[in-house]
Amino acid sequence: MLGRRAPLEIPGSVLQALSDRIAGVDETDRAKRRRDAALLQVGELRRILNGPFMSFFAEVQDVLSNGLVRAEVSLFGRATPVEFTPDQLGDPVAA
């Protein structure tokens, strides 16, 4: 994709989700997870909706090719990396 100074990098997860969508791949749980994860942006702050960290906030660090999201959760004042499924994270929180 075109950028102002250099081409913008498109994450592999986004390309995979687009490819699956165009090809009409069966909507398996893993494909759905990858598609949902592709919509997340690195650096977004999101509220955790369920699981052991429910109601904490997580900052998205990476979207993995298997559809999981690696995010940092502040526990006892330290950033702790945790992997989530996209449905465990709510809408982006305004800063």
What pTM does this model have?
A: 0.66
- Who's near 94: CB < 8 A, 6+ residues apart? none
| Tens digit of each residue's pLDDT (9 = 90 or more) over 44-56 | 999 999 999 999 9
Confidence of residue 27 (pLDDT cuts 50, 70, 90): low
The Cα–Cα gap between 48 and 52 comes to 9
The CA distances from residue 40 to 49, 54, 64, 80, 84, in Å, are 15, 18, 11, 19, 12
